[in-house]
Amino acid sequence: MAQKFIKAQNNNALNAAYGKFFATAVYDENFIETDAIADYIQQQCSIKKSDIMATLLELGDALKHFFEMGQKVRLKGIGIFKVGFSSIGVTKAEDCSAATITNRRILFQPETTRVVVGQEKRRDGSVKQKYVVAKYLLKDVVFEETHENTLHPTPSPDGE
């Protein structure tokens, strides 16, 4: 399988990239739910699905607990989760309080690794490595063009 994409043209005349085409991700209409993740993990290891489900459900409570303590959470092989929010701007520092915080959200930063892609020999004889930062979760993802706007469109009432 591959991550599907379509070609989409920028139609915003006010944007510097107006008229240019960009690859845009196409997703299945369905979400992969906790149950399906537990099934997959069970096939990869010796832990029972019921134990995996319990662990995944507890993960949500654990994340909430540490967010309430003002902590960032790093899950090895996945990345870092932390709380983010917006705030209403005020003119005086004493007016800035928790009441001015809006749009609470969770920020996710995927785990990355440096991958050497080449090297350059300097005049002094030393070698400088060239590298890119690769996102661990996306390292082996293949991209494939499609002409469908969704991978599994819902059939219309008349069967089409």
Which whole-number Å values give the CA distances from 67 to 72, 74, 79, 84, 149, in the listed order?
7, 12, 15, 10, 36
Q: How far is it, in rounded angstroms, from Cα 2 to Cα 65? A: 35
- Considering the domain delimited by 1-143, tell me its CATH architecture: Irregular (4.10)
For the segment 36-73, what is each residue's pLDDT rounded down to a tens digit? 999 999 999 999 999 999 999 999 999 999 999 999 99
pLDDT of residue 2: 82
pLDDT of residue 128: 86
pLDDT of residue 73: 97
Cite the DSSP H helix spans in 18-156.
34-44, 49-68
pLDDT of residue 159: 55
pLDDT of residue 153: 55
Which whole-number Å values give the CA distances from 145 to 31, 141, 151, in the listed order?
21, 13, 11
Which residue ranges of the chain lie beneath pLDDT 70?
Answer: 149-160
Q: How far is it, in rounded angstroms, from Cα 50 to Cα 56? A: 10
Which residue ranges make up each domain of the chain? 1-143
What does the DSSP 8-state code read for residue 22? E
